[in-house]
Structure 1
Amino acid sequence: MKKLLGLLLIIIVFSCEKAKETVNKGGKAMGQTATEFIDGVAEGVDGTLDSKIVLSDSLKERGISIGKYQIESDSLGKNNKLTVYIITEKNFNGILTFKVFDKNNAEYGRQTLELKGKGGNAGYHDVLFDSRTDIESKSTIKVN
């Protein structure tokens, strides 16, 4: 009877370990799939919310270019803050005007930024639009 009970205990423990392994493998696979799904959704959202910056030819001629940029929300949840990396290849001292246009080319936000930069410098700058400006998906931000 003791041998039978011992054998039964070994079978139960072995079965539990196999079940645990199976559950762990299944959980790991589900976790990877969920992560890939979330990453895919995030990429899709980024693609549909993608706004673009268009720099005027006159600013390009004056040595200004734009690097990475992002649109951030204020405390009310409005996407009205633009953080932009501006590169000055030539000395620059002037005012940049940022205008936001919707997908139908209607302007709905405008803000200026005083920029002083030596040639070869670059840095991040924040452009905060009116709190009622909510930069929409597929907006165009024109810089003059």
Structure 2
Amino acid sequence: MKKLLGLLLIITVFSCEKAKETVNKSGKAMGETATEFIDGVAEGVDGTLDSKIILSDSLKEKGINIGKYRIEKDSVGNNNMLVIYIITEKDFNDVLTFKVFDKKNIEYGRQTLELNSKEGKAAYYDVTFDKRTDIESKSIIKVD
């Protein structure tokens, strides 16, 4: 009887260990799947809500390129500041005009930036629009 009980105890312990490993593997797989799902949703939301920058052909011909950009809030909480990385392939000394359009293509913000940059240089610039300009999701910002 003692041998049978000992054998049952050993089988139970190994069964529990196997069940624990199975649960851990399942939990890990579920966690990875959930993380991928959340990342996918976040990318989808970002892609849907992001504003878009359109650089004029004349600026492209003058050697201006745009890198990364983001919209930031001012002290009042309006999304009215564009932080933009501008790359100059050629010497450039002129004024850039930034115009904000909503998803119906109605202009609701305009600001200028004096840019004096040498060939091969790049830097971040802050373009702050009027405090009443709240750059909405899906806005288009045209740079001339």
TM-score, normalised to structure 2's length?
0.84
> Aligned AA for 2:16?
C
Where 2:138 maps in the other structure, the secondary structure is coil
Pair 1:53 & 2:53 matched: yes
- Counterparts of 1:27 and 1:125 in 2: how far apart (Å)? 46
Give matches, 1:2-21, under 5 Å.
2-21=2-21
> Aligned AA for 1:123?
A
- Counterparts of 2:21 and 2:100 in 1: how far apart (Å)? 55
2:103 — aligned with what?
A: 103
* Superposed displacement of residue 77, structure 1: 5.3
The 1:41/1:77 distance shift into structure 2, 3 A limit, reads farther
2:119 — aligned with what?
A: 119
> Aligned AA for 1:89?
E
* Superposed displacement of residue 76, structure 1: 5.9
The 1:80/1:6 distance shift into structure 2, 3 A limit, reads farther
Where 1:71 maps in the other structure, the secondary structure is strand
> Aligned AA for 2:3?
K
> Aligned AA for 1:81?
M
Give matches, 1:1-144, under 5 Å.
1-74=1-74, 78-144=78-144
In the TM superposition, what whole-angstrom CA distance separates every residue of 1:41-73 from its partner, at most 9, and x where no partner exists?
Answer: 112112211322112233223322212223344
> Aligned AA for 2:55?
L
The 1:129/1:62 distance shift into structure 2, 3 A limit, reads same
Structure 2 stretches lacking a partner, 5+ long:
none
Which of 125-134 and 80-89 deviates more? Answer: 125-134
Q: For this pair of structures, how many residues does the alignment match?
A: 144
Task: Give the % identical residues.
Answer: 81
- Counterparts of 2:21 and 2:10 in 1: how far apart (Å)? 16
Structure 1 stretches lacking a partner, 5+ long:
none
The 1:121/1:21 distance shift into structure 2, 3 A limit, reads same
TM-score, normalised to structure 1's length?
0.84
- Counterparts of 1:76 and 1:26 in 2: how far apart (Å)? 47
